[in-house]
Structure 1
């Protein structure tokens, strides 16, 4: 494994790293905001739609993966996989808590 990376002579990689960190910050803020929120909301036409922050986090995760890949680090694939696994585990736990509280009950019309 690599002990660390030095980007002093690589400003392009440093900028990619800064952008990747910003993406992770946005993901963390959104996840915190979603803690007590339902997974779905009412759309403009009255339909149930995915919560906008869920979609935003999906986009930010994709951006993070692209940015880390663009840095062409020797262990980039491993780092991305570990981050995805950690986020997936956290998301599963959060969803379980929300479902256990009954905040994601979708009413059945005509019942």
Structure 2
């Protein structure tokens, strides 16, 4: 898409989310559904940055409801958000960029062809 509205980051994104948006949108042509997914990933990046900033002066271990030691709740939330971000970015299936910053579509096509071939062999037991 070459629409100038798409090139500007969506409202509400913070520093890290805008940085991710600006690194992806100029390099790739994304469908509308991919833009929605990218925006979601950008919001996740911003949330991860907030969670990590909140943990700066916090202990890694805190007291639980019965006085037992347990990990700080922000640690597990950060871990979950990072896992979500990994899934979101993987779902975009962005091809690698070459040295000039041009997407290598051939790499993704070959990878998908290989996966399809193995799935077909597995289905038919060949």
TM-score scaled by structure 2? 0.54
Would you say 1:36 and 2:57 are equivalent positions? yes
- Kindly provide the CA deviation profile for residues 6-29 of structure 1, in whole angstroms up to 9, marking residues without a partner as x: 22xx11111110111111101100
Q: Distance in 2 between matches of 1:15 and 1:75?
A: 20
Provide the rounded CA distance (Å) in 2 between the counterparts of 1:70 and 1:56: 21
| 2:93 partner SS | coil
1:6 to 26, 29, 33: 29
**1:34 & 1:12 partners in 2: Cα distance?**
33
Q: Secondary structure at the match of 2:70?
A: strand
Number of corresponding residues: 73
List gaps (5 residues or longer) in structure 2.
1-23, 98-126
1:19-30 matched pairs, under 5 angstroms: 19-30=40-51
- Give the superposed CA RMSD: 1.9
Q: Matches of residues 1-111 of structure 1 in structure 2 within 5 Å? A: 4-7=27-30, 10-75=31-96
User: Once superposed, which parts of structure 1, at least 4 consecutive aligned residues long, lie more than 3 Å away?
Assistant: none
Give the structure 1 partner of residue 119 of structure 2. Answer: none
Q: Taking CA–CA contacts closer than 8 Å with sequence separation of 6 or more, which of the two structures ends up with the larger relative contact order?
A: 1
Provide the TM-score with structure 1 as the length reference.
Answer: 0.61
The whole-number CA distance in structure 2 between the counterparts of 1:30 and 1:19 is 16
Q: Report which of the two structures shows the higher radius of gyration computed on alpha carbons.
A: 2
Q: Partners in 2 of 1:74 and 1:45 — Cα distance?
A: 49
